[in-house]
Every structure is written in structure tokens, then in C-alpha cells.
């Protein structure tokens, strides 16, 4: 009983950690994209770099959410 409860707690904490990292990457990506769009007019190189970094963060958030987070959430919802 204790091992099962500990395993469930660890799994829930893992899901929460993946969700937090996904949220941080998403917010950072959106903010970098916004800053990149604003910077393109004054400094093209900085603007393009920020747009690229924003894209990398958003793609990372998507891959983390679809590859790690959603399967774990589905497994928890199914009771596994």
C-alpha cells in the first residue's frame, strides 16, 4: 500500500513538473516572439534572433507536452 501511494505521488509530481516546464517554455517563447517582432524594426539581427529563440522555445514546449506530458496524464486518468 505504501509503495503504491509513493509511486502515485511521484507520478503526480512528475506530471506537475512537466506541466510547469511546458508552461514556462510557452510563456518564454511567446515573450521572445513578441520582443522579436518589436525589435525587427530597429535591429534586424536581434529581432530575427529573438524570433528564432521564441520558435525554439515554443517547439520545445509542444514536443514536451505531446511526448511526455500528455501520455503521463492519460496514464494517470486511466488509473495505470
Helix axes 70-78, 2-40, angle to 10 degrees: 150
pLDDT in tens, 43-57: 999 999 999 999 999
- Residue 7 scores a pLDDT above 80: no
Q: For residue 22, count CB atoms less than 10 angstroms from its CB and return exposed for 0-12, middle for 13-18, buried for 19 or more.
A: buried
Cα separation of 37 and 29, whole Å? 12
Nearest Cα to Cα of residue 72 among 1, 16, 3: 16
Look at the alpha carbons of 14, 15, 16, 22 in this order and tell me if their dihedral is positive or negative: positive
- Report how far Cα 10 is from the mean position of its chain's Cα atoms: 19
pLDDT in tens, 22-77: 999 999 999 999 999 999 999 999 999 999 999 999 999 999 999 999 999 999 88
Amino acid at each position: 500500500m505504501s509503495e503504491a501511494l509513493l509511486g502515485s505521488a511521484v507520478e503526480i509530481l512528475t506530471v506537475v513538473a512537466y506541466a510547469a516546464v511546458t508552461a514556462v517554455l510557452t510563456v518564454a517563447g511567446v515573450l521572445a516572439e513578441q520582443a522579436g517582432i518589436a525589435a525587427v524594426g530597429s535591429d534586424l539581427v536581434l529581432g530575427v534572433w529573438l524570433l528564432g529563440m521564441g520558435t525554439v522555445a515554443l517547439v520545445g514546449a509542444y514536443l514536451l507536452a505531446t511526448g511526455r506530458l500528455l501520455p503521463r496524464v492519460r496514464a494517470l486518468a486511466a488509473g495505470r
